[in-house]
Homo-oligomer: A and B are copies of this chain.
Amino acid sequence: MAKIPDKNISVEDFTEETFQLESLRDGEALCKTRFISLDPYLAEMMQSWQGPEPEWREGIIVGRMVGEIIESRDPRLEPGDWVNGDSHWQSLESGPAKRFRKLQIEPGVPMSAYLGVLGASGLTAWIGVNRIIDVKEGETFTVSSAAGTVGAIAGQLAKMRGAKVVGVAGGQDKCREVVSILGFDACVDHLAPDFEAQLAAAVDGCIDAHYENVGTKILDPVLGLMRDKGRIGLCGLIAHYLNDDAIELKNFRKLLTSGLTLQGFRIYDHLDAAKQAQVELMAGIRAGKITVRETITEGLPNAPQAYVNMLGSGGIGKHVVHLTD
């Protein structure tokens, strides 16, 4: 990044540099980046230049990618292998071979799916629906950011569990796609002036279980509609990542008066579920019950604009940047 963003992240906060990679040492591999994952969780690190990896302190972004090994000095990898892992936003990435996780090539499944439905997003959705909320047959389940990659998968997983699934998304086009393409029972546009009334109608006045990705604007009316002993999985607060303002909830009292459970969760507390989640997600894809939706931007130089667009929630499903040669 060129500088720490003033307030909102903008394209001017990014810069592109060209440099020479060192030649490989034993145990290292060279990877051609094919897909870069544009994830909301990066925003907080971009804003603060602080993250789990020390490179953040220099403003170097560390995100998720899928790539192809083009050179290897480690027996575990060979040229032509597809891998994923954490990486800088670079066209080429070299490093210890153990940093790259070899991927299975599945017929009919795009490799970028390993950044979404078969990657962290899919696992995040699976954990929320299965472990945190434990969605049950016949329940009314809502999910915010339903057109986003995690929300889209969460809704489809809840549907597989027999729930009535109502999404919340921004804009009528998105909502239509969430119903027609992802198979949700309904999707409510939070930009509509009568959003809260529409939501209440779509859930018949009562929500059993909710998967939150956004923040107050969705969570507050949802709280107001929660049934007694309802469960809320708190997966994201994308509307609140870019500032420190207090979060205001008129219906916070509902947590008490309806005996609700609100549980925040992080993917890295549940990595033991990765295998089972991937098996079930893959089965869902094969059975046509999980539809992979992606918004693909071409070319690394377009990554900053694509990232800003994603935060502004343009497009549908998983946002990735595709790098050609």
Residues of A within 8 A of B (CB): 220, 229, 234-237, 240, 244-250, 252-266, 269
Out of B220, B234, B248, which one reaches A255, CB within 8 Å?
B234
Interface of A is mostly: mixed
- Asked if residues B255 and A259 are in contact (CB atoms below 8 Å), the reply is no
Minimum CB–CB distance for A54 against chain B, Å: 19
Collect the chain B residues with CB atoms within 8 Å of residue A244's CB. 250
- Asked if residues B262 and A266 are in contact (CB atoms below 8 Å), the reply is no
A78–B76 Cα distance when bound, in Å, is 85
Minimum CB–CB distance for A150 against chain B, Å: 13
Collect the chain B residues with CB atoms within 8 Å of residue A253's CB. 237, 240, 247
Collect the chain B residues with CB atoms within 8 Å of residue A234's CB. 255-256
Out of B247, B261, B265, B269, which one reaches A248, CB within 8 Å?
B247
- Asked if residues B258 and A264 are in contact (CB atoms below 8 Å), the reply is yes
Answer whether A269 and B259 are a contact pair too, CB < 8 Å, given A246-B249, A248-B248, A249-B247. Answer: yes
Collect the chain B residues with CB atoms within 8 Å of residue A260's CB. 263-264
Minimum CB–CB distance for A259 against chain B, Å: 5
A70–B32 Cα distance when bound, in Å, is 89
Q: List 17 A–B pairs whose Cβ atoms lie within 8 Å, in order of A's numbering.
A: A235-B256, A245-B250, A246-B252, A247-B249, A247-B250, A248-B248, A254-B264, A255-B262, A255-B263, A255-B264, A257-B266, A259-B263, A259-B265, A260-B263, A260-B264, A262-B262, A262-B263
A319–B95 Cα distance when bound, in Å, is 67
Complex: chain B residue closest to A261, CB-CB: B263
A235–B220 Cα distance when bound, in Å, is 20
Please give me the 4 A-B residue pairs with the lowest Cβ-Cβ distance, nearest first: A247-B252, A255-B264, A246-B248, A256-B264
A256–B247 Cα distance when bound, in Å, is 13
A108–B292 Cα distance when bound, in Å, is 69
Collect the chain B residues with CB atoms within 8 Å of residue A246's CB. 220, 248-250, 252
A263–B260 Cα distance when bound, in Å, is 6
Given contacts A258-B264, A259-B266, 16 further A-B contacts (CB under 8 A): A236-B256, A237-B253, A237-B256, A246-B248, A246-B250, A246-B252, A247-B253, A249-B252, A255-B262, A255-B264, A257-B264, A257-B266, A260-B264, A261-B261, A261-B264, A262-B262
